[in-house]
Amino acid sequence: MKNKYTIVSMIAMLIAIIFGGIAFQQYNAENMDEVYLNIGYCTLFLSASMFSWHIKDEKQNES
């Protein structure tokens, strides 16, 4: 379980990319309400990914 923060970060990044792709598809379909919703989810998971990566670095600095 040494790399649990890295795994969580990569999973969150993958989910953010998926929501970004859905937002792009909805943008092409001109469904702007869904675009904004999916961009919101994308940024949520992107920030969770970056925070997880930050926690991983902080745990390494403590050791």
The pLDDT tens digits for 12-56 are 999 999 999 999 999 999 999 999 999 999 999 999 999 999 998
Residue 58, CA distances (Å) to 23, 45, 55 in order: 33, 20, 5
- Confidence at residue 45, expressed as pLDDT on a 0 to 100 scale: 97
Q: Exposure of 1 by Cβ count < 10 A (0-12 exposed, 13-18 middle, 19+ buried)?
A: exposed
- Confidence at residue 59, expressed as pLDDT on a 0 to 100 scale: 86
What is the domain extent for residue 12? 4-62
Question: Per-residue confidence at 3, pLDDT binned at 50, 70, 90?
Answer: confident
- Confidence at residue 16, expressed as pLDDT on a 0 to 100 scale: 97
Q: How many other C-beta atoms can be found within 10 angstroms of the C-beta atom of residue 16? A: 20
Total domain count for the chain? 1
How many degrees, rounded to 5, is the angle at CA 16 between CA 14 and CA 22? 105
- Confidence at residue 62, expressed as pLDDT on a 0 to 100 scale: 82
- Confidence at residue 1, expressed as pLDDT on a 0 to 100 scale: 63
Pair 34, 21: CB distance under 8 Å? no
